[in-house]
Structure 1
Amino acid sequence: MATEEDLNKILFAIFIIASVYYIHKFCFETDIKKIKGIPQVPGSIPIFGHLLSLGEDHATTCEKWWRKYNLPVFQVKLGNTRAVVVNSWDEVTKMVTKTQTALIDRPKLYTFHGLISSTQGFTIGSSPWDESCKNKRKAVGMTLNRGALKNYLEMFDLESYCLVRDLEPGSRNGKADVFIRPFIQRLALNTTLTLCYGIRMDDAYDDLLREILTVGSAISLLRSASENLQDYVPLLRYLPNNEKNKRSKELRDRRDKYLNTLMNKTKTMIEEGTDKPCIAAAILKDEESKLNNVEVNSICLSLVSGGFETIPGTLTSCLGSLCTEEGQVYQEKAFEAIKSHYPDIKQAWLDSIQEEKIPYINAIVKEAGRYYTVSAMSLPRKTIKPVRWNKAVIPPNTMVLINAQAANHDVDHFGPDAGTFNPDRYMNEDGVTEKEIKGLPHQSFGGGPRSCSGQYIAQRLIYACLVRILSVFKVVASEVEPPNTSYVDYNQFKTALVAIPRDFKVKLVPRDPELLQEILKDSAKRTEKFYR
């Protein structure tokens, strides 16, 4: 018969075994077991896995690991989460096209999905794949497809005019340096606010506009794995005085406040019969709509939080490259291309919002999207079924990370000058016609059913702005505050989900001051009735 001492020994042994088991599980195990056939890069440590060795800039670190270990596809441990990282152009293309239905899901993250999104629902891009996500993507797809662009010509006209209108006085006829990013931010945010709520703000430093931009950028930081380790190391969530949790709830409340303000303004305009055509009004007035209030808010939130970051990041950085000494060559080619298609610059202004027919401007738009990969590591995907990858099988519920920055700068696909800004890569040798490209020109919009819903409107807006700016100004880099044009270092916050370009100034030298004033006067008269 066992004595009390024997029972105590047995219980102690059980405690030791259980402790060793759970310590081992906590320190070394991941949600998905190590995938056979896909190499794991060195550097994993207990509890954190590769998180610490990845540093602040995951995309650049993974790009270096790919070249160092000659592994275009490898697996890493992000705390207790196993992820497959895809880097090269060929492997990324194969992943987002041939296996697109298997990678249609998104993983849920503790901070963004559990805290920040607990009141307004998930954005379309971050939403796990379910019936609600299908309905939201369908609604947005009908609103933002290429055929629907004709519905937004007045908006394109107004916002691109306002951009040039407000840049012109600050430049003092090309004698003063000006910051361009605040005005491009307003253009992008007004575009999405008009689309969603039928509301716009004319002042680039409007309090509400700045609040939306400030909160959105702060949330972007909290969505990044490098900035927010508690998404992958659960123990960190329960530390006393957790500042990440406090910050997340504070930003959620501030975002709720301005989203409710915007929605209430739209509802008031509907009641008064003064509403403008927009997504919120269309859905709110459609009794047949299958979308509930949370889904309507989610759609509007998706567009507002997505467009205001990516469009300014791309357009601002593009102008940064064009204003440099090297970029002046491309800028003048663009100006000559505009003149060859539109001998009358006034006509170029009018047509820039309706069509994208100047090949060299299209080449610049493509190169800006490729070179400045504003979302360097695309939103994570999650497999919904087994994915056969060469000799390996990636199991369901595995996180897959698409390194868009690495793919967009793959020298094996784009050539030895992949690390330089060069729009000519998208032109034929005659310098007049565009190359015919099979597949995607770059990976910045993603591919398959989870690609960016707003890509067509983003391209048209950037195209129109480039035509209008380059047709009336020569853009010259400031000697005191020039742009940083490194495709890595141009981003001032490496941990942000979407790049925020470092501030720089430019000189805007009017090509024909009298013509510029005529164009601005005509545009003011033409657009004064829009969204006032």
Structure 2
Amino acid sequence: MAVLALLGTILVAVFVGYLLLNEVWRTNVRVKGIPGPQGLPLVGNLHQIRGRNAAEVYRKWAKKFGSVYQIQLGNVPVIIVSSVKAAREIFIGQGSALISRPMFYTFHKVPFSIGTSPWDESAKRRRKAASTALNRPAVQSYIPFLDLETKDFITDLYERGFKGERAVDCMPMVQRLSLNMSLTLNYGTRISSIDDALFEEITEVEEWISKFRSTTGNLQDYIPLVRLNPLNAHSKLASEMRDRRDIYLTRLNRELQERIGNGTDKPCIQGNVLKDPEAQLDEKELMSISITMISGGLDTITTTLGWIVGFLARHPEVQEKAFQEIISAYDTDFWGDETEEKIPYITAFVKETLRYFTVLRLALPRESFKDIEYEGMKIPKGTCVFLNAWGCNRDDEAFEDPFEFRPERFLTESSGTAHFAYGAGTRMCAGSLLANRELYIVFMRMLWAFKIELSEDPKERDFNIDPVEGSVDPTSLVTLPPRFKVRFVPRNEHYLLKLIKKG
């Protein structure tokens, strides 16, 4: 017993000693001259945001500490930028200083996408390849794909939505739309039905990986002591998802190579790279591009559409305004030239949807490549910096009545960044042009084709679509909407069927 008591005393002493030394370390690594909440030993400010919408907490802290302040996530000091003015001056004005990404422990278990890679020659090559495939001329060439996938999406809503007679969960149809765009552009292939086993596998794995990319959900990223746990289920699950993703990405690449070999491949990003002797991308870099294309669509387009469908069901007046703008610009019978952005209100509707919901609320973390100066404060090289896109998009100095959904605000848009849903500066989302065009066409066709109505079942009407309180997982990389059922009631079934067949 005496030996056990002595051993217990030694373990307690070691732990207390570790806490003291760790606290000295945490204090010394804080960025000098930048205010912010102190936090607790070992965890820093993690306890104040754990399980909560961190971006909303950060937005409120900005009212107290200023639009640029620091927090500590465990041992890691993080600078939060939470206003439009500060974001423009730091992320755009000094963008070259924020071109890199920090390394997080959990990412050792999950391969990098282009967007999460630290800046080096490999990241530069991969981003160049992706940017070329996502620039304005390239996006224009993808219109036939957008036309096909959005037509299939409308058909799914009509047929799987029981022709508007019953409420339906539209999320699987939304996921197939987003996933097919990614697969078509990257591999020249698509999934024909939500019943396909590959569809289920990809959507499940990518949803889990989105959780691992959370800036607040992985304690092991910030508290080294947690990594010593031999039964760390989080790391084990991350490795499992990596292995499962490797299987379907390898399959997709192999099938593409077979199509290239027999001459049946269609133009696509991976195919162009594989056939380009000057591309100089190895297998891991090709995998990174694949990860980027698949994750990007499923993370942002899917969640954005999920939020707006639920919102429209609760706001028929918003639907009606958009519908009137559509029919005032087009004849009743249309299904082709609406792929051009001809209606300013729908373009504004896309921007407001992205601003209001801001599904990627904390833009992917940056690491300062060199020192940054802002209003007398110095952010040293090597510091982790978060752009609070949610806080910027709710900045009442930049947006009048920022908590109201009002597309009209973008009809008189001034110069500068319209919103921060895609991040800002040198490492902002490379796929923003494609995402904007996809959302424009989806909104046009969905609002023209259907009235989105709440279910007649009281239980199915009970869902919260508030951007903060309605999220089912506020710690995920993207803010997930609740699952709900709504009715897609055809506005004019005769024309809808005619155009579906014509498409």
- Which of the numbers 37, 40, 46 marks the counterpart of 2:41? 46
CA distance in 2, matches of 1:465, 1:18: 59
CA-to-aligned-CA distance 1:465-514 (integer Å, 9 cap, x gap) = 11111112111122432452211123211110012211112211211111
Equivalent runs, 1:8-407 vs 2, <5 Å: 23-30=19-26, 33-42=29-38, 44-56=39-51, 57-67=53-63, 69-112=64-107, 114-117=108-111, 122-324=112-314, 327-346=315-334, 349-353=335-339, 355-407=340-392
Determine if contact 1:81/1:232 at 8 Å carries over to the other structure. Answer: yes
Distance 1:184 1:31, change over 3 A: farther
Residue 498 in structure 1 maps to residue 475 in structure 2: no
Determine if contact 1:476/1:507 at 8 Å carries over to the other structure. Answer: yes
Determine if contact 1:375/1:404 at 8 Å carries over to the other structure. Answer: yes
Deviation at 1:27, TM superposition (A): 3.1
Q: Highest Rg: 1 or 2?
A: 1
CA distance in 2, matches of 1:436, 1:58: 29
Deviation at 1:55, TM superposition (A): 2.1
CA-to-aligned-CA distance 1:123-145 (integer Å, 9 cap, x gap) = 11000011111111111111101
Q: CA RMSD in A?
A: 1.8
Deviation at 1:225, TM superposition (A): 3.3
- SS of the equivalent of 2:341 reads coil
- SS of the equivalent of 2:488 reads strand
Determine if contact 1:106/1:129 at 8 Å carries over to the other structure. Answer: yes
Question: Residue type of the partner of 2:57?
Answer: T
Match of 1:431 in 2: none
CA-to-aligned-CA distance 1:260-317 (integer Å, 9 cap, x gap) = 1111110111111111111111111111212122111111111101111200111221
Question: Residue type of the partner of 2:192?
Answer: D
Question: Residue type of the partner of 1:27?
Answer: E
Distance 1:53 1:436, change over 3 A: closer
CA-to-aligned-CA distance 1:175-222 (integer Å, 9 cap, x gap) = 211111110110000000111111100112321111111111111111
Determine if contact 1:28/1:47 at 8 Å carries over to the other structure. Answer: no
Match of 2:433 in 1: 456
Determine if contact 1:364/1:423 at 8 Å carries over to the other structure. Answer: yes
CA-to-aligned-CA distance 1:86-108 (integer Å, 9 cap, x gap) = 11222222221111110111000
Question: Residue type of the partner of 1:233?
Answer: I
Determine if contact 1:85/1:403 at 8 Å carries over to the other structure. Answer: yes
Match of 1:430 in 2: none
Question: Residue type of the partner of 2:338?
Answer: S
Determine if contact 1:55/1:61 at 8 Å carries over to the other structure. Answer: no
CA distance in 2, matches of 1:385, 1:187: 40
**Please, what TM-score do these two structures have when normalized by structure 2?**
0.93
Distance 1:313 1:226, change over 3 A: same
CA distance in 2, matches of 1:370, 1:317: 12
Distance 1:333 1:308, change over 3 A: same
CA-to-aligned-CA distance 1:72-96 (integer Å, 9 cap, x gap) = 2211111111111111222222221
Deviation at 1:240, TM superposition (A): 2.3
**Please, what TM-score do these two structures have when normalized by structure 1?**
0.88
- SS of the equivalent of 2:60 reads helix
Distance 1:19 1:425, change over 3 A: closer
Deviation at 1:71, TM superposition (A): 2.0
CA distance in 2, matches of 1:193, 1:50: 40
Determine if contact 1:127/1:133 at 8 Å carries over to the other structure. Answer: yes
Moved more, 170-179 or 453-462: 170-179
Equivalent runs, 1:375-524 vs 2, <5 Å: 375-415=360-400, 417-426=401-410, 434-479=411-456, 480=458, 481-482=460-461, 483-523=463-503
Determine if contact 2:471/2:479 at 8 Å carries over to the other structure. Answer: yes
Deviation at 1:20, TM superposition (A): 8.6
- SS of the equivalent of 2:322 reads helix
Structure 2 residues not aligned, in runs of 5+: 1-12
Deviation at 1:343, TM superposition (A): 2.0
Distance 1:72 1:335, change over 3 A: same
CA distance in 2, matches of 1:509, 1:38: 54
Determine if contact 1:105/1:383 at 8 Å carries over to the other structure. Answer: yes
Determine if contact 2:35/2:65 at 8 Å carries over to the other structure. Answer: no
Percentage of identical aligned residues: 39
CA distance in 1, matches of 2:254, 2:23: 48
